[in-house]
Amino acid sequence: MEVVIVPDAATAGELIADTIAALLRHTPDALLGVATGSTPLPVYQALAAKVRASALDVFRARICQLDEYVGLPAGHPESYRSVVLREVVAPLGIPESSFLGPDGNAPDIPAACAAYDSALAEAGGVDLQLLGIGTDGHIGFNEPCSSLASRTRIKTLTPQTRQDNARFFDTPDDVPHHVITQGIGTILDARHLVLLATGESKAEAAALAIEGPLSSLVPASALQLHPHATVILDDPAASKLKLSDYFRTTYASKPPWQGL
Ligand code: GLP
């Protein structure tokens, strides 16, 4: 796992956007797994700026969802499909037909989950999966004690995650209890995992994921199993790392040609 500490969220957004741009130059039809929440927005803004400046051609890029609420009406503004369309697909000008996601309203949810795993595999697998982290250490919606080998499936949100996500809904009670999420095993199938954490509220979860033991109690610790995992933190999110000096020194002396 590579840990990169940057001064602020905007710098992190630029760094990840540069990484995605390099991937798309090499693989124009790369399948990009995107995350929702507030954290990745600087990445999407930096990518959109590149597109506007004609510094990046994303027309052949493909986008896929990490997770989805179950039971929100189709077109609900806070369904993750709507969020990804609004924050990523539309600003980048990617055709909606290049966007894959699970159906949170499917009559048969287990079948929809299996179909989504199959669709990702048939699409050739995810080239780069962008991840955030929950304050309880979740990735996607894999809450603590999710199997490290799990595939896409339905999960029940913890009270803490429902409370964390209540800001997106009119009232806390409107946050769905159930979600579909790529499993940890599904996420680990991506070729490159890039986890972004910003702000002091993520410092404890980030430290446990990076420096703690591999444990389903901290689902993000599963990145320790991946051969190409990059964790990018701003200074506040890195504030509880024991090895922060080592991570800073290592990244500062990294040859620029290596990228992330
Ligand atoms: C939700 C999403 C996660 C995201 C997390 C953190 O639970 N399912 O993918 O990482 O929120 O969100 P934020 O970045 O807003 O803190």
Q: How far is the CA of 183 from the centre of ligand 1 (A)?
A: 15
What residue ranges line ligand 1, CB within 6 angstroms?
35-39, 66-67, 132-134, 140-141, 161, 165
* 21 assigned to some structural domain: yes
Q: Domain span at residue 177?
A: 2-255
pLDDT in tens, 129-184: 999 999 999 999 999 999 999 999 999 999 999 999 999 999 999 999 999 999 99
Q: Which two tokens stand for residue 170?
A: 């009119």
* 170 assigned to some structural domain: yes
Average pLDDT over residues 107-126: 98
**Residue owning the nearest CA to atom 11 of ligand 1:** 37
| Residue 40 one-letter amino acid | P
> Of all residues in the chain, what percent carry a pLDDT higher than 90?
98
**Residue owning the nearest CA to atom 4 of ligand 1:** 132
Is residue 68 predicted with pLDDT exceeding 90? yes
CATH number at residue 134: 3.40.50.1360
* 177 assigned to some structural domain: yes
Calculate the CA dihedral of residues 78, 80, 84, 87 and round it to 10 degrees.
30
Q: Which of 199, 174, 210 is nearest to 78 (CA)?
A: 174
Cβ-proximal residues to 233 (8 Å cutoff; 6+ apart), any chain = 3, 4, 5, 6, 12, 196, 197, 198, 202, 206, 241
What total of structural domains would you count in the chain?
1
Q: How far is the CA of 96 from the centre of ligand 1 (A)?
A: 23
Q: Do the Cβ atoms of 121 and 157 come closer than 8 Å?
A: no
> Of all residues in the chain, what percent carry a pLDDT higher than 70?
100
Average pLDDT over residues 201-227: 98
**What is the C-alpha to C-alpha distance for residues 42 and 17, in angstroms, rounded to an integer?**
9
Report the chain's C-alpha Rg in angstroms.
17
Confidence label for 60 from pLDDT (cuts 50, 70 and 90): very high
Judged by average pLDDT, the poorest of 73-77, 219-223, 237-241 is 73-77
pTM of the model: 0.97
The pLDDT, as a whole number, for residue 74 is 87
* 137 assigned to some structural domain: yes
Average pLDDT over residues 32-48: 97
**Residue owning the nearest CA to atom 1 of ligand 1:** 37
Confidence label for 256 from pLDDT (cuts 50, 70 and 90): confident
Q: Which residues are catalytic?
A: 67, 136, 138, 143
pLDDT in tens, 229-254: 999 999 999 999 999 999 999 999 99
Q: How far is the CA of 151 from the centre of ligand 1 (A)?
A: 19
Q: How far is the CA of 253 from the centre of ligand 1 (A)?
A: 31
Average pLDDT over residues 110-139: 97
* 223 assigned to some structural domain: yes
Count Cβ atoms within 10 A of the Cβ of residue 105 and give its class: 0-12 exposed, 13-18 middle, 19 or more buried: middle
Is residue 9 predicted with pLDDT exceeding 90? yes
**How high is the mean pLDDT of the chain?**
97
* 260 assigned to some structural domain: no
Q: Do the Cβ atoms of 114 and 154 come closer than 8 Å?
A: no
Calculate the CA dihedral of residues 91, 260, 54, 46 and round it to 10 degrees.
40
